[in-house]
Amino acid sequence: MAPISFAPKFSAPPPTITVAILSFPAPKILLVTLNRPKQLNSIPSAGHVELNNVWQWLDEEPELSVGIITGAGRAFCAGADLKEWNNHNEKRTTRPTPPAGFAGLSRRSGLKPVIAAVNGLCFGGGTEMIVNCDMVVANRNASFALPEVKRGVVPFAGAPPRLIRTVGRVRAMEMALTGRTVGAEEAREWGLVNRVVDEGAEKVVEAAIELATMVAENSPDAVIITREGVKMGWEGCGAEEGTRIWQEVWQGRLAKGENMREGVRAFVEKRKPVWKPAKL
């Protein structure tokens, strides 16, 4: 886990969380490290609610611009806690999850980007999480799978319809119907992963922090609005219709904000912009 090297004063304290450790490795960046290594960072029901609260706090906290999620030990996330799932099955009870899905990520819309730093096994719900993250970095020994069919269950957390838009129909079918494991290099070739780095949890987190820092240096208003535009295309909206809606919803908000004027002024004055927290 990356050490805490930045301690901002938050407008509200971070939410209480038992399944992960929160740290702040660089200005504007939140690092969430899943911390159940003995359980391969599988997530119990309560953990989904906790993580959902963390991502909501990220969106609302002015001092933060980007989130990163990774795992402690040899796994990023092995999916759901199957022992807990089995107990629910035996008792005929349900396993509640927030509307934003597995770990509060698999169906999250949100405002601010989240980067996955995949340090090892990324199975089931773990893969469902990263399919909906904004960027994904993996180390060379990372592996991805949707093995639900091998257990008689289904990846209901949102991966199949999102996966097809990322890797294409036949590759999505291969992952979902066979349950086979896809290595890091193959995942990068498929477009599921942005970068593959040398083995080691620290290296993959460092690579994610590098990307996150590049994002955090930009206008927070422009990052949020640009992300919305990309999402509209990825979620199936036609290019022209998406552009029209995007402009109608966001263009006026951007123009009213301080950061657009600051960015242009800084360029003219040949200096680095001083951004204000987004107020969109």
What secondary structure letter does DSSP report for 120?
Answer: S
Q: Which of 43, 71, 67, 42 is nearest to 55 (CA)?
A: 67
Residue type, 96: P
pLDDT tens-digit series, residues 19-64: 999 999 999 999 999 999 999 999 999 999 999 999 999 999 999 9
Q: What is the mean pLDDT of residues 196-222?
A: 93
The residues that are catalytic are: 80, 125, 128, 148
What whole-number distance in Å separates Cα of residue 57 and Cα of residue 11?
Answer: 10
Q: What is the mean pLDDT of residues 198-215?
A: 92
Residue 242 has pLDDT above 70, yes or no: no
- Check: pTM over 0.95? Answer yes or no: no
pLDDT tens-digit series, residues 160-178: 889 999 999 999 999 999 9
Domains of the chain: 20-216 (3.90.226.10), 220-268 (no CATH)
The sign of the torsion formed by the CA atoms of 255, 256, 260, 266 equals positive
pLDDT tens-digit series, residues 126-170: 999 999 999 999 999 999 999 988 888 888 888 888 999 999 999
The pLDDT of residue 233 is 84
